[in-house]
């Protein structure tokens, strides 16, 4: 995320959708990263001297990345209720991301939407399009730097959820069509080096996505990633993974981590300076 986009995204956190109408994405005069960081250090020091411990703790808790599940009125928006919590656990164990252990469920017009760079939209049946105002809120969030994963638990191309998801995407970005993402795309190497896309099933081997200004704002899969992540309170996997079993489930987690890392870092892995580290990571292979 560029410094300017990151600043505008943070400014958008505490305002309602109607207040974003007049916020420009490329407004000049943004603070530099150095001045922003130095200001934050000074503020933290002042808060410590002033005894504002509670405020400092609140700021710290709010700085954690929290995965967000979107709730919509129609259909079945949360078919895998434990999945994101398990993904957050894996993200915490495998990466240096400071992630909240529990995801949050949000409506499309919730003002807290702008605190969450990674949004998840699930479902296993068809759904009606949300109201135009709610879609406008979601669109603004994505334009300001947010990322949306749409994951079909139905896992059936041409099924009811697939048709509804495509209609939803077309309504959010009517001028930006879904396109197939090639295997050389950054999302395939944002943390792990990955090939075909898999989840609970391996129905469609590639990602589809909406790309704006070179950035994927919506990624769509019909492989039910969350079905591979979901685990019950007794530690048992809730769904069998077909056809690859445990190896495929591991790949599904790796895809989830790649997507979160992409949402946070965008395209830094495309830089040439990172190629030696990417090549070194090729040793991280799954036992066959």
Task: Tell me the two tokens of residue 146.
Answer: 């947010």
CB-based contact 100:64 (threshold 8 Å): yes
Q: Are strands 179-181 and 207-212 parallel, antiparallel or unpaired?
A: antiparallel
pLDDT single digits (tens) 96-128:
999 999 999 999 999 999 999 999 999 999 999
Distance spanning both ends of the chain, measured CA to CA: 36
Q: 12: buried, middle or exposed (CB in 10 Å: 19+, 13-18, 0-12)?
A: buried
What is the rounded CA–CA span in Å between residue 1 and residue 3?
7
Question: What contacts 237, CB < 8 A, 6 or more positions away?
Answer: 230, 231, 249
Of 55-64, 242-251, 272-281, least confident by mean pLDDT is 272-281
**pLDDT score at 63:** 80
Answer whether 179's CB lies under 8 Å from 255's CB.
Answer: no
pLDDT tens across 4-60, in order? 444 344 434 433 443 333 333 333 333 333 343 344 444 443 344 444 444 434 445
The whole model's pTM is what?
0.76
Cα-based distances in Å from 39 to 46, 135, 173 = 11, 35, 37
Q: CA angle 147-85-79, nearest 5°?
A: 80
Q: Which domains does the chain possess?
A: 3-60 (no CATH), 65-281 (3.40.50.12140)
């Amino acid at each position: 995320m560029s410094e300017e986009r990151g600043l505008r995204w943070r400014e958008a956190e505490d305002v309602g959708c109607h207040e974003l109408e007049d916020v420009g994405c490329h407004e000049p005069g943004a603070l530099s990263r150095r001045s922003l960081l130095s200001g934050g250090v000074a503020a933290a020091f002042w808060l410590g001297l002033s005894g504002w411990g509670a405020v400092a703790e609140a700021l710290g808790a709010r700085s954690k990345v929290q995965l967000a599940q979107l709730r919509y009125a129609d259909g079945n928006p949360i078919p895998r209720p434990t999945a994101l919590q398990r993904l957050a656990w894996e993200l915490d164990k495998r990466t240096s991301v400071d992630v909240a252990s529990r995801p949050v469920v949000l409506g499309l017009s919730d003002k807290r939407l702008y605190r969450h760079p990674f949004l998840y939209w699930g479902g296993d049946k068809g759904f009606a399009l949300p109201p135009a105002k709610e879609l406008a809120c979601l669109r603004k969030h994505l334009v300001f730097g947010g990322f949306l994963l749409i994951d079909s638990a139905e896992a059936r191309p041409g099924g009811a959820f697939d048709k509804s998801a495509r209609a939803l995407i077309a309504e959010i970005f009517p001028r930006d069509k879904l396109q197939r993402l090639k295997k050389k795309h950054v999302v395939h190497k944002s943390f792990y080096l990955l090939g075909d896309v898999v989840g609970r099933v391996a129905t469609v081997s590639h990602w589809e996505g909406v790309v704006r200004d070179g950035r994927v704002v919506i990624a769509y899969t019909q492989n039910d990633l969350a079905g591979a992540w979901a685990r019950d309170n007794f530690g048992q996997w809730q769904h069998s993974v077909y056809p690859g079993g445990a190896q495929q489930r591991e790949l599904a987690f790796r895809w989830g981590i790649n997507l979160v890392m992409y949402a946070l870092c965008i395209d830094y892995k495309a830089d040439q300076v990172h190629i030696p580290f990417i090549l070194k990571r090729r040793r991280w292979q799954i036992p066959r």
